[in-house]
Amino acid sequence: MDEPLVRWDWIARNWDNGGPTSVKVLLENHIVMAFVPVIAGLLIAIPLGLACARYRWLYQPTVGIMNVVYSLPSLALFSILLSVTGLTQTTVIIPLTLFSLAVLIPAVVDGMQSVPDHVRQSAVAMGFQPMRRLTRVELPIAVPVVLAGLRVAAVSSISLVSVGALIGQGGLGYLFIDGWQRQFYTPIVVGIVLVVALALVADLVIIVAQRLLTPWSRRRA
């Protein structure tokens, strides 16, 4: 094929053509399907992770289950859910939530373990009630570790949404299918660039959030 890698006119025509497969709409769908699972995952992982940190016997089985979840092929999960939830965004969101959990639960547990024992002890000694100690002392110290997990979860989620294209719900992943079927580079390149850019922006937002949330912690790239 002596076709150029990128045809700029295609981008101009298809960025916002009003149709359901305009790049802008795909991008919006992609953002929804990528971020809902991460946020849902975080909301579930915090209580579960705290429970695992408190009741140690929960930890091993939970990590075991999460390891299995982590190894599930996303495509298989999408396909099987398709028979239950049909051709909706939920079909993609549920499996991605599971993947987020597989990353975030260990991160929350590690974060709680990163609280030095003497800090916890002195909080107890100063008379912090358990709930207050958790929210005022332990969680803030755990934040850097949890956010490190959140970065991995967010980036993976953004990347994985595109696999959903194989079952007809993949946001920017549609561009890969489209380009493949028409043997046409431009949509594929545009898709890859946008997915990576989206991931970098998300990563950056989390890094900035961490700086703001934990001004006391050492700087780390």
- By CB under 8 A, name the binding residues for another protein: 1, 63, 67-68, 70-77, 79-80, 82-83, 106, 110, 151-152, 155-156, 158-159, 162-163, 165-167, 172-173, 175-177, 179-180, 183, 185, 188-189, 191-192, 195-196, 198-200, 203, 221
87 within 8 A of 170, measured Cβ to Cβ: no
To another protein, the closest distance from the beta carbon of 67 in angstroms equals 6
Within a 13 Å sphere around the CA of 28, how many CA atoms are in the beta-carbon half?
A: 7
To another protein, the closest distance from the beta carbon of 201 in angstroms equals 10
Q: Which is nearer to another protein, 92 or 158 (CB)?
A: 158
Please give the angle made by the CA atoms of 217, 101 and 218, to the nearest 5 degrees.
10
Alpha helix ranges (H) inside the chain: 8-14, 23-54, 56-71, 74-85, 90-113, 117-125, 130-133, 139-161, 173-182, 185-213
To another protein, the closest distance from the beta carbon of 95 in angstroms equals 11
Q: Which is nearer to another protein, 143 or 155 (CB)?
A: 155
Rounded CA-CA distance 111/103 in Å is 12
Q: Which is nearer to another protein, 22 or 159 (CB)?
A: 159
Q: Which is nearer to another protein, 37 or 179 (CB)?
A: 179
Structure tokens at 128: 């912090």
To another protein, the closest distance from the beta carbon of 160 in angstroms equals 8
To another protein, the closest distance from the beta carbon of 203 in angstroms equals 6
Q: Which is nearer to another protein, 82 or 139 (CB)?
A: 82
Rounded CA-CA distance 205/153 in Å is 14
